[in-house]
Structures are given as structure tokens and as C-alpha cells.
Amino acid sequence: MGLVSPLGSDLTRFWARIASGQSGVRRVQRFDISGYASQIGGEVVEFDVNEFIDKKEQRRMDPFTQYAVAAAVMAFADAGLEMDKEDPTRAGAIVGSGIGGLQTLEDQHSVLRDKGPGRCSPFMIPQMISDIAAGRIAIRYNLQGPNHAVTSACATAAHALGDAFHALRRDEADIMVTGGAEASVCPLGYAGFCALRALSTRNEDPQRASRPFDAERDGFVMSEGGVILILEELEHARKRGAKIYGEVAGFGMSCDAFHITAPDEDGEGAARAMRMAMKDGGVNPGDIDYVNAHGTSTQLNDKTETLAIKKALGAEIARKIPVSSSKSMTGHLLGAAAGIESVVCMLAMRNGVIPPTVNYENPDPACDLDYVPNTAREGTVRTCLNNSLGFGGHNATILFKAFE
């Protein structure tokens, strides 16, 4: 696994901050945010792109691709995977982005407006398109197997991981590099989401702004970053003595077919994705030890997801299972969110610690589960669900198991 995130770009440091309930949210520093309704975000920190990509290539990449490539470099190092010893036709990459090269689009539109069409960069299109992260990673590591991008808003990385999982199951590859990246902390990104009234405006207290399931939640906090996970067919991983964090055991996806941004308030679509993942993985609701919720800190999402969890697991069982939202600490990485939350699930299983939902101070009667409020707790996690719900009604759930 590798990541570039608002809580750092080192797995050990990232986990220490998650386990201690630290927030990566602050006032946006990258541009003048004073005219925006929301002025806070999860900007990437402790990241030097020069360690991963030479300067010439940097100039030809949007930040979202830089984050993805850097996360891939870290993931390959963490996996001890040397592609010159592998069959490149049996290795692929499926990496998504919810929005793609938004900063490139913004910058090049300014060039067009101010200097005319002849001054636009010849790299504008290959910098901007959402599939370029998967392509760049494949070129760097000579991955000649399945390769594509996924775009499904906030469910993007979950769908990418699900597609990679299925590629391994279908024996199309032995190794799949997967995840998501996003870099929409820019003026155009904030203008759009502020106009949508989707973002928290708790500007005076950034670290307390993302408060999933809390009665005073007022919107999500925009974040950025990139996350890559390397999936392998079991015998292939065993043969090379790979370090194994856990097992991808099941995947489910559905659509609300209801509204372009709002979830269907009956929660049935999200519940169905959870049921499908459990059925795929051969587990029952009582086998689930932890749910990493989508938990965006918006009024509708958190209420609807709570209902969906109760529908999928049964209300009595659901109330006994710890449910937490990593977004309370990382903010919302949009197309990379499910990637960073998959890392959280893996490390929770590995370390026997259930991460908290921070800023949970005011109970909401519509949100009545065990959200692991404010402080992590020790606990054995053998089986967990990771939920992702995206604009457009996209629902995706990944089932993880501890590897035995």
C-alpha cells in the first residue's frame, strides 16, 4: 500500500495519526480562499514530489497523477515487488479519479482566455484525462495486463478495487495495481462545491468541521491525495513471500437510480451493496467486526447510511458493531476516498485497533449506531465492510478479511 494524504505520506505516521484521532483539516493555504463560503480543506502535507518524479515529468502531470504515481512508487516498495522478475502481461492497473485533472483544466482555460488558443499546452489533454494515472503507472512499471480508469464520483476507488478484484478472479492477471487519486483543492473545485452547498462552512474551527453522524454536521470537507493498493492472486503472493495485509473477500455494487446528488432516503441501494458484498464473501451479518462508513458529515448521507447499515445487517446486530468514519480526520478525498479507507481497514485488522469518529459531540436520534466516538479502541477485526456512496447514486461495498 502507498498513500499521499492530508495526514502524511507514510503508512506508519498516517496510522499513528488515525489511531490517535488527529485531523488533517486546516484553512486552505494554496490560494486565496477568503471569498469562498467554505475556506477549509485537507491539503496534502509532508510530500515532496521530487522524491518520486523527475522535474520534466512533473511538468507534464496534473497533481492528481503525481499523487497516484507517488503512491504507486510507495506501494511497490512496500510490496517488495520487482516487475523485472514478473510476467508483465499478467500485471495490470485500474486506477480512478472522480474529477481528473481539474487544476490543469483551470490553468489552461486561463491561458486560452488571456493568451489565445495557440498558447495552450500540447500536454493539456493527456494531463487532464482521468485515465492517465492508470496509464502512467502502467508505463512506469511495464504493466501490460488489464488497464483502465474508473469514474464514479466518491465511489471511484471502491469500483476500481472491485474491478481489480474481479480481474484476478477471472484469471486475467496475477497482480493488479489499484486505487484512486484526486486533486480538486483549487479555486474551480471550491467554487463548484460551494455553489452546490455541499461543503462545511465551519471555517473558524477547521479541525472540528468534519463531524460525521453528529447532529451539528453541516457538510463535507474537501480533501486531496492518492492511494494505491497492490492486489495479488494468493499463490502468486505466497510464492514470492509477499507481506500480506489482508484479503479482499467480496464486493457489491448498486445504484439508487434516484437523484443526481442526494441518496435515496430509504437506504435500500446502499444496503443492497452491503448484502451483495457479504454474500460474495460468504459471511453473515454477525460475522462483521467493523464497518468503515462512507460517513461524509452531510445531513442526508449520514442518516441514510445509518439506515442502510441497519437494513443490511439487521438493526439488533448493527447496533453492536463499531462503525466509524475516517473522513472525520482525513476529510473527503472524493475519488480517492475508498482507497484511503481501505488502507484504514487493513491497518485496523493488522493492529487490532478500531479507529474513531472524531468530533462526535451531539447525538442525532436518526444516527443511533456505535460510531466509536472520539477515541480509538482496541478490538479484534477479522472481517470488515468498507462503504462508498457517490453522486449519481453509486453504491459500492468492499468486504475485507484478515488473512489466515
pLDDT tens string 77-100 = 999 999 999 999 999 999 999 999
Last residue of a domain, one of 239, 264, 283: 239
Q: In the chain, how many domains are there?
A: 2
- pLDDT category at 198 given cuts 50, 70, 90 is very high
Does residue 294 have an active-site annotation?
A: yes
- pLDDT category at 319 given cuts 50, 70, 90 is very high
Overall average pLDDT of the 213-229 stretch: 98
Lowest mean pLDDT across 21-25, 160-164, 259-263 = 259-263
153 and 43 co-located in one domain? yes
Q: Is the pLDDT of residue 108 over 90?
A: yes
Does residue 345 have an active-site annotation?
A: no
Query: Given this model, what pLDDT does residue 404 score?
Result: 86
282 and 384 co-located in one domain? yes
Domain that holds residue 225: 2-239
Encode pLDDT of 60-70 as tens digits. 999 999 999 99
- pLDDT category at 344 given cuts 50, 70, 90 is very high
Q: Is the pLDDT of residue 124 over 90?
A: yes
For residues 198 and 327, give the distance between their C-alpha atoms in angstroms, rounded to a whole number: 15
313 and 388 co-located in one domain? yes
229 and 304 co-located in one domain? no
254 and 224 co-located in one domain? no
198 and 347 co-located in one domain? no
334 and 351 co-located in one domain? yes
Catalytic pick among 186, 194, 294, 394: 294
Catalytic pick among 159, 186, 332, 367: 332
Query: Given this model, what pLDDT does residue 173 score?
Result: 98
154 and 217 co-located in one domain? yes
Query: Considering the chain, what percentage of its residues have pLDDT values greater than 70?
Result: 100
221 and 291 co-located in one domain? no
What is the CATH number for 69? Answer: 3.40.47.10
Overall average pLDDT of the 45-53 stretch: 96
Query: Given this model, what pLDDT does residue 239 score?
Result: 96
Q: Identify the CA nearest to 16 among candidates 347, 243, 333, 327.
A: 347
Query: Given this model, what pLDDT does residue 169 score?
Result: 97
104 and 52 co-located in one domain? yes
Last residue of a domain, one of 239, 262, 279: 239
59 and 191 co-located in one domain? yes
182 and 288 co-located in one domain? no
Query: Given this model, what pLDDT does residue 386 score?
Result: 98
Q: Tell how far CA 133 is from the center of its chain.
A: 15
Q: Is the pLDDT of residue 45 over 90?
A: no
Query: What integer best gives the mean pLDDT of the chain?
Result: 97
Last residue of a domain, one of 219, 239, 259: 239
Overall average pLDDT of the 180-200 stretch: 97
Does residue 259 have an active-site annotation?
A: no
